[in-house]
């Protein structure tokens, strides 16, 4: 089968021919119907050999959808032909975090060398993929895999972040979204569907700001040194009640810190090396700063239920497996509108 692999530190991903895997006991083989392209892959491919926590080659793709092709011994909760999506942040299934469905925060994943597909385990950018356990599959039903596969990460990650801040996002409040890319353009829609907040979106690109308006942002601002002043003006001096930073680079975490109001939440989702210093006088009183990772299994079910209600529409650009390296180039050049999705 064809697979898109990261094979050598610093090199571009390559399309290669590898054997179709067979499911072992307890595992599920999916025929992949769609795989999303996330900016985190670009971060992983920028790491040095010392920083890389898993061996190469790696089949990419941590957003996956497919149809069950074959089940391993003992698997009886899914059947061949079932359309599913993959919950990516695999855990041990048994620790106290996993017991709560928060496998993204599994306490034993590192010790047991459990890694997400596409981020250590073979991922979804291939004709077939192995899922380690049927509990990591969520029924897709009638939804289109190509248009919804990004919800497994670009939906789930903002959903988890927003859900934490719901008590602060009452009518009259303001949410600032920094970065209207894959995660951000879904985050804006989730904020509109789940809260009464006014949404102010920031980006460096006018095209991304146009997309932000299209998906429901009330106000859009270029992300520069005037942005904080404009946010203060738009909120009558009060500042934002929640800031979601989907870029996470030093200039955006600085904006987040400065535009956050009293008793606000600052959530740093982007992994661009930025940070917010917390201490007396560095942030407004009682600002809560956090950097979450992905989301829980039950939250992924909730995200797909929102999609079923028609409350979130991912803007996708589609590519074949052969075109996947081009999709990464376009993402790197900040040219993707919404999310790039590979369709095997
Ligand atoms: P993306 O490339 O699709 O979107 C990033 C957006 O940020 C783009 O629209 C870009 O124009 C914008 N941007 C860049 N610099 C900016 C600046 N200075 N000010 C404002 N906007 C700016 O990327 P994505 O796939 O949506 O991922 C976003 C970030 O989130 C990445 O860092 C990714 O690695 C990270 N991520 C984190 C998690 C997590 O669990 N914490 C999960 C998925 C992705
Ligand atoms: Zn991702
Ligand atoms: Zn666990």
Q: Which domains does the chain have, with CATH numbers?
A: 2-153+295-342 (3.90.180.10), 156-290 (3.40.50.720)
**Atom of ligand 1 minimally distant from the CA of 184:** 26
H or E, element range at 221: strand 219-222
Distance CA 131, CA 18 (A): 17
Q: Is 67 touching ligand 1 by the criterion CB < 6 Å? A: no
Residues in the chain predicted with pLDDT less than 70, given as ranges, are none
Q: Is 208 touching ligand 1 by the criterion CB < 6 Å? A: yes
Residue from 86, 145, 84, 138 nearest 343 by CA: 145
Average pLDDT for the chain: 98
Q: Which pLDDT belongs to residue 37?
A: 98
Q: Is 252 touching ligand 1 by the criterion CB < 6 Å? A: yes
Q: Which pLDDT belongs to residue 78?
A: 98
Q: Which pLDDT belongs to residue 62?
A: 98
Tens digits of residue pLDDT in 260-281: 999 999 999 999 999 999 999 9
In sequence order, the 6+-apart residues with CB closer than 8 A to the CB of 77 are 134, 135
User: Virtual CA dihedral for 20, 24, 28, 29, nearest 10 degrees?
Assistant: 10
Cα distances (Å, whole numbers) of residue 115 to 59, 104, 297, 305 = 13, 10, 16, 26
Could you tell me which residues are beta bridge partners of residue 318?
341
Q: Is 253 touching ligand 1 by the criterion CB < 6 Å? A: no
Whether 57 contacts 6, CB under 8 Å:
yes
pTM, 2 dp: 0.98
Of all protein residues, the one whose alpha carbon is nearest to atom 15 of ligand 1 is 247
**Atom of ligand 1 minimally distant from the CA of 331:** 2
Tens digits of residue pLDDT in 101-114: 999 999 999 999 99
Q: Which pLDDT belongs to residue 212?
A: 98
Whole-number Å distance, alpha carbon 39 to ligand 2 midpoint, is 6
Of all protein residues, the one whose alpha carbon is nearest to atom 35 of ligand 1 is 270
């Amino acid at each position: 089968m064809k697979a898109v692999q990261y094979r050598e530190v610093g090199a571009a991903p390559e399309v290669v021919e590898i054997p179709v895997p067979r499911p072992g006991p307890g595992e599920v083989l999916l025929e992949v119907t769609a795989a999303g392209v996330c900016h985190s892959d670009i971060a992983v491919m920028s790491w040095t050999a010392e920083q890389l926590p898993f061996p190469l080659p790696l089949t990419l793709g941590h957003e996956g959808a497919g149809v069950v092709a074959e089940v391993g011994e003992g698997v009886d909760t899914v059947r061949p032909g079932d359309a599913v999506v993959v919950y990516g942040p695999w855990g041990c299934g048994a620790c106290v975090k996993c017991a709560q469905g928060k496998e993204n925060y599994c306490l034993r994943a590192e010790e047991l060398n459990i890694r997400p597909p596409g981020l250590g385990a073979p991922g979804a950018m291939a004709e077939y993929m192995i899922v380690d356990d049927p509990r990591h599959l969520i029924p897709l039903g009638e939804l289109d895999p190509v248009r919804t596969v990004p919800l497994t990460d670009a939906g789930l990650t903002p959903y988890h972040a927003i859900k934490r801040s719901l008590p602060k996002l009452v009518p009259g409040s303001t949410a600032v979204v920094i970065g209207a890319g894959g995660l951000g353009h879904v985050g804006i829609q989730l904020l509109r569907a789940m809260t009464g907040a006014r949404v102010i979106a920031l980006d460096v690109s006018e095209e991304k700001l146009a997309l932000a308006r299209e998906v429901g942002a009330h106000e859009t601002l270029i992300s520069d040194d005037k942005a904080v002043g404009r946010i203060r003006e738009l909120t009558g001096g009060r500042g934002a009640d929640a800031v979601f930073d989907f870029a996470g680079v030093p200039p955006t975490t600085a904006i987040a810190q400065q535009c956050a109001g009293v008793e606000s939440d600052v959530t740093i989702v982007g992994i661009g090396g930025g940070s917010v210093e917390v201490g007396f006088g560095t942030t407004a009183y009682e600002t809560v700063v956090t950097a979450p990772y992905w989301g829980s299994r039950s939250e992924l079910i909730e995200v797909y239920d929102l999609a079923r209600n028609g409350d979130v529409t991912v803007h996708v650009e589609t590519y074949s497996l052969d075109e996947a390296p081009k999709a990464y180039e376009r993402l790197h050049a900040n040219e993707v509108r919404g999310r790039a999705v590979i369709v095997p």
